[in-house]
Structure 1
Amino acid sequence: MEPAETLELQCALAWPPVTGRWLGTWWFRAAGGFTGRANTALAIGDPGVPVTEALERVCEFAHSHGLEPAVQAVQHGPVERALAARGWVPNVAHEAGHEVSVLVGPLGGPAETARILGEPTPGWWELCAGTTEPSEAQRHVLTTAPALGYGVVEAGTETVGAVRAAVVDDVLHVSRLAVAPAYRRKGLAADLMAAAGAWAGARGATRCALQVSVANAPALALYHRLGFTEHHRYRYWVPATPACEDRSP
């Protein structure tokens, strides 16, 4: 099994920010506030400077993009210990859940009704982003990656299921899996996963990875049924006031 940091980077490359900056192997990210993953510093490995200085730069970068400073770190890893020692705390107020399980599993396939498109449709946007008019940040994050596919299940002219599939190296990264309420518990989520797996396998992927809040019990149950297991967890951390004040004039 590869280190958690390796898989974290592959997942991050499948979910690119609008603006990014590297500090050693730490990646500062900003995307107009659209998702925690695209608006935090991915703190893996060595920033190349003392951690205290690295965190000061995290704060400066976040403030320069109108964001509250936050760090994404592998749970129980050395970065978490360094964060705690410098007055940072887990962001328990994070709306989508501050503790996330990273799961790995088989590609699956073939699909019965789901198919993978080369471009997102209005119905895909509606299910995956909650709008048919995505913001610049939403459009960038969701339509940028080395290889992308947009999974859909359609009932007549209506899109009733959707998923985003991205391939980085040999990993299929799945996100934004959604099924319209009236069509749930009909196997559409599993079929979307199968379609994504078959599509990714044809593009060199050998396994699948995804990220789910530990509080999302229905999603975790679905993925466990599909053969996924937990690889590791990460958490979002924020500075305790006034450890990271905005110093801009």
Structure 2
Amino acid sequence: MDTVTELESLCADAWPALVDERLGEWRLRAAGGFTGRANTALTIGDPGMPVAEALAATAAFAARHGIEPKAHVIQGSETERRIRDEGWQRATDHPGGAVSQVMTGPVPEGEPLGEVLDKPSRQWWQFSVGEPTAAQRHVLGTGPQLGFGYVEDTAVVRGCVVGSTLHIARLAVDPGARRQGVAKRLLAALGEWARQCGADRSVLQVEVNNTAAIRLYEGLGFTEHHRYGYWKP
């Protein structure tokens, strides 16, 4: 298994959709429209049929689950070329941005701040998403080994350890507390928890135009591994 496939599969396992059906090696995912990652076809590997048929199956799956048909496609891959040849196009109107990068790095270290909960508290939910829907409870609240970092009324983060890899997501800091080291210290607390769970590396997904987040992670030793985009008919 190449490293792109490994990391994409790991990230998908860390971010479980409500529905995750296999189409050969592709994964058709739906979660009530909550996040692109949980509501797209992960087009890694061989779908076991011509790409045109696989895309038709993707669209049919989306229709059955009441979501827009979209594909999660590795930039520069042969699959991307084939999907383009079938008339699909990059989803430039995607709310979270059409292109994201996968970054890898060490398990965060430093002076910790806050606590890491084994279940999301009411306060964690309120800070992260407000009153959670069933889809949000599933995507954010399930996974292999979960940790929910929380600094009261200030910051949250979600960690999921898959094997020996920490997947970092949903980092949010109150605007009034930014640029004060809160994010780094909360990530350090998450890192302490993750090492106790056996993690020795980290991975995350971030939209390419989120320069503030990218700078934060680069400062912690993260580098870009690859990029993916969302495509639609």
2:162 paired residue number: 168
Q: What TM-score does the superposition give when structure 2 sets the normalisation length?
A: 0.97
Contact 1:100-1:233 within 8 A present in 2 as well: yes
- Residue 139 of structure 1 is matched in structure 2 by 137
State how far apart, in whole Å, the 1-side matches of 2:110 and 2:196 are: 12
Q: CA RMSD for the aligned pairs?
A: 1.2
Identity over aligned pairs, percent = 49
Q: Identify which of 139, 147, 152 aligns with 1:149.
A: 147
Aligned residue for 1:38, secondary structure, equals: helix
TM-score (structure 1 length as normaliser): 0.91
**Number of aligned positions between the proteins:** 233
Alignment partner of 1:84 is 2:84? yes
CA drift at 1:2: 4.9
The CA distance in 1 between the partners of 2:94 and 2:102, in whole Å, is 17
Give the match's secondary structure for 2:45: coil
Residue 247 (structure 1) aligns with: none
C-alpha distance after superposition, 1:191-227 (max 9, x if no partner): 1111111111111111010011001111111111111
Structure 2 Cα separation of the partners of residues 128 and 5 of structure 1? 29
On the 8 A contact 2:113/2:188 being kept in 1, the answer is no
Q: 2-side partners of 1:185 and 1:127: how far apart?
A: 19
Q: Residues of 2 paired with 1:50 and 1:204: CA distance?
A: 40
Shift in Å, 1:142 = 0.3
Instruction: Give the counterpart of 2:209 among 215, 218, 226.
Output: 215
Structure 1 match to 2:186:
192
Q: Secondary structure at the match of 2:230?
A: strand
Shift of 1:127: 2.1
Aligned to 1:70: 70
AA aligned opposite 2:82: A
Residue 202, structure 1, aligned to residue 200, structure 2:
no
Conserved in 2, the CA contact under 8 Å of 1:110 and 1:198?
Answer: no
What SS does the corresponding residue of 1:152 show, helix, strand or coil? strand
| Separation in 2, partners of 1:111, 1:12 | 30
What is the SS of the residue equivalent to 1:93? coil
Higher mean Cα deviation, 98-107 or 116-125?
A: 116-125
CA contact (8 A) 2:26 2:42 kept: yes
Show the counterpart of 1:245.
none
1:180 to 174, 183, 193: 174
Matched with 2:52 is 52
| Structure 2: distance between partners of 1:33 and 1:113 | 33
Q: What secondary structure sits across from 1:186 in the alignment? A: coil
Q: Is the 8 A contact 1:31 1:39 kept in 2?
A: yes
Paired residue secondary structure (2:73):
strand
CA contact (8 A) 2:112 2:187 kept: no
Q: After TM superposition, which residue ranges in structure 1, 4 or more long, deviate above 3 angstroms? A: none
C-alpha contact 2:146 2:161 (8 A) present in aligned 1: yes
Aligned residue type for 1:194 = A
Counterpart of 1:43 in structure 2 is: 43
Q: Give unpaired runs (5+ residues) of structure 2.
A: none
Looking at structure 2, the residues matched to 113 and 55 of structure 1 have their Cα atoms a distance apart, in angstroms, of 46
| Cα distance in 2 for residues equivalent to 1:124 and 1:181 | 16
Shift of 1:3: 2.0
Identify the structure with the greater helix proportion.
2
Work out whether residues 127 and 179 of structure 1, in 8 Å CA contact, stay in contact via their aligned partners in 2: no
- What is the DSSP-based 3-state SS (H/G/I as helix, E as strand, rest coil) of the residue aligned with 2:229? strand
Equivalent position of 1:15 in the other structure = 15
